[in-house]
Amino acid sequence: MRINNLPEIFIQALPVLKTLTTAGYEAYFVGGSVRDLLLERHIHDVDIATSAYPEEVKELFTHTIDTGIQHGTVTVLYGDSSYEITTFRTESGYQDYRRPDKVEFVQNLAEDLKRRDFTINALAMDQDGEIRDLFDGLTDLNQKLIKAVGDPEQRFHEDALRMMRAVRFMSQLKFTIEAKTEAAIKDHHELLSKISVERIRDEFIKMCLGQNARQAFQVFLNTELSEEVPDFRGKKEQLSVFPSLTFAPSTEASAWAVIIILLKLPNEEIARFMRDWKNSNAMAKRVEEIIYFFDLLSDHTPTSFELYQAGLEVVVSACDVSRILGQPVNSEALVDQYTALPIKKDSELAINGGDLIKWGLKPGPALGENLATIKEKVVSGELANDVESIKEFFLS
């Protein structure tokens, strides 16, 4: 199979490939970029595999970075872009179920591709656009199938994170997982506990946000991968609702909010749960805000000041969560109500604490209390947001 019209991202990288081949080495575009080219998906970056050793790559290019030279990877800076160039290699060991204990450089493309995770990621393309498919990845692409290269049990023992990558690709690509590959995930799901939470989290969120999230989440539960991630053990019943939800989360914060609500975690446990998943403090705070506003929406129609305190992003996310969980709200009306607020942030208030001091108020707790009262009345439309109106109200 040959691609005659390469996208610009490949055309820009061709001089790098040709520098290697002109010097007598083999070189190919490999992995996800080739897969996404064939699927007509957006391509974020391109990776290159070559028969040249790292030191030989460095001799051919002026600007390089030793990104992972012990594993054969050199980053080449060319034009306005950077390209990871990795020497053909084999791997062995994997005592931590993630990184190889031993890497050997080889001169054979087939040996390099056979160590990759799935057949759809074991495709290579040369500088002429010719696809090298040594493991029937094109057939699996056409059949929308995620299938391990070779023995799936061996692939997952080499890198247990590949099991999460399988359900993530299933979600993002709207593919299904080949039966033998899925069975191997279920048989070896406990290996996932060997992987760092940070890496699991990244794959989990990508799965939750994919276009096929509900079906992928069902496989995540069926294979018992869910038993090997923070705070999910024994919670399959609560989480089993996720695949039946009508809407998929649109943001990472919304996804976490939905999960926490399904798990019925009390508010005081949200921060701990987010820490267990190694989320940032900012993400934890945003999720808490979304859940608080979701609870508020479930109880009553928010006031203008409650909308102001939440902020537009939280309001929209909470509406998203409400729809997902089958509690639809009039999000357009809430957004219109928010848009109509006289001010959207504290800095837009016409006065500040210094003005109140000039008008006779002494510094202290009363200063903040008065500012809060003024702000609430301005937001609610009871008081015009101009200095004279606020001063008259304050002095009355």
Q: Determine whether the annotation assigns residue 45 to a binding site.
A: yes
The residues, ordered by sequence, that sit 6+ positions from 381 with a Cβ below 8 Å of its Cβ are 304, 342
C-alpha distances in Å from residue 172, one per residue of 6, 43, 45, 145, 200: 23, 14, 17, 12, 16
193 in Cβ contact with 171 (< 8 Å): no
Q: Determine whether the annotation assigns residue 99 to a binding site.
A: no
Q: Determine whether the annotation assigns residue 115 to a binding site.
A: no
Quote the radius of gyration of the chain (alpha carbons, Å). 27
First to last CA, the chain: 82
Backbone angles phi, psi at 325, to 5 degrees: -90, 15
- Alpha carbon dihedral 345, 346, 350, 351, in 10-degree steps, equals 180
CA separation for the pair 189, 317 (Å, rounded): 32
Which domains are present in the chain? 1-143 (3.30.460.10), 148-232 (1.10.110.30), 245-341 (1.20.58.560), 346-395 (1.10.246.80)
Q: Determine whether the annotation assigns residue 96 to a binding site.
A: no
Q: What is the DSSP string of 295-308?
A: HHHHHSPPPHHHHH
Token representation of residue 142: 């056409």
Token representation of residue 203: 């794959």
The candidate with the shortest Cα–Cα distance to 213, out of 227, 200, 203, 225, is: 203
C-alpha of 345 from chain center: 29
Which pLDDT belongs to residue 328? 82
H helices of the chain, in order, are: 8-22, 32-39, 54-60, 109-113, 137-142, 152-158, 161-173, 179-187, 197-209, 213-222, 236-239, 252-263, 270-276, 281-299, 304-310, 312-324, 331-339, 353-358, 365-379, 387-395
CA separation for the pair 138, 115 (Å, rounded): 17
CA separation for the pair 230, 198 (Å, rounded): 11
100 in Cβ contact with 92 (< 8 Å): yes
Q: Determine whether the annotation assigns residue 323 to a binding site.
A: no
Which pLDDT belongs to residue 67? 86
Number of residues written out for the chain: 396
3-state SS, 329-368, equals CCHHHHHHHHHCCCCCCHHHCCCCHHHHHHCCCCCCHHHH
Q: Determine whether the annotation assigns residue 159 to a binding site.
A: yes
Q: Determine whether the annotation assigns residue 199 to a binding site.
A: no
64 in Cβ contact with 76 (< 8 Å): yes
Please report, in tens digits, the pLDDT of each residue of the chain (396 residues total): 899 989 999 999 999 999 999 999 999 999 999 999 999 999 999 999 999 999 999 999 999 999 888 889 999 999 889 999 999 988 655 555 555 556 788 888 999 999 899 999 999 999 999 999 999 999 999 999 999 999 999 999 999 999 999 999 999 999 999 999 999 999 999 999 999 999 999 999 999 999 999 999 999 999 999 999 999 999 999 999 999 887 778 899 999 999 999 999 999 999 999 999 999 999 999 999 999 999 999 999 999 999 999 999 999 999 999 999 998 899 999 999 999 999 999 999 999 999 999 999 999 999 999 999 999 999 999 999 999 999 999 998
Backbone angles phi, psi at 320, to 5 degrees: -60, -50
Which pLDDT belongs to residue 103? 74
Q: Which residue matches tokens 């937001």?
A: 379
Q: What is the DSSP string of 121-158?
A: G-EEE-TT-BEEESS-HHHHHHTTEE-BSS-HHHHHHH
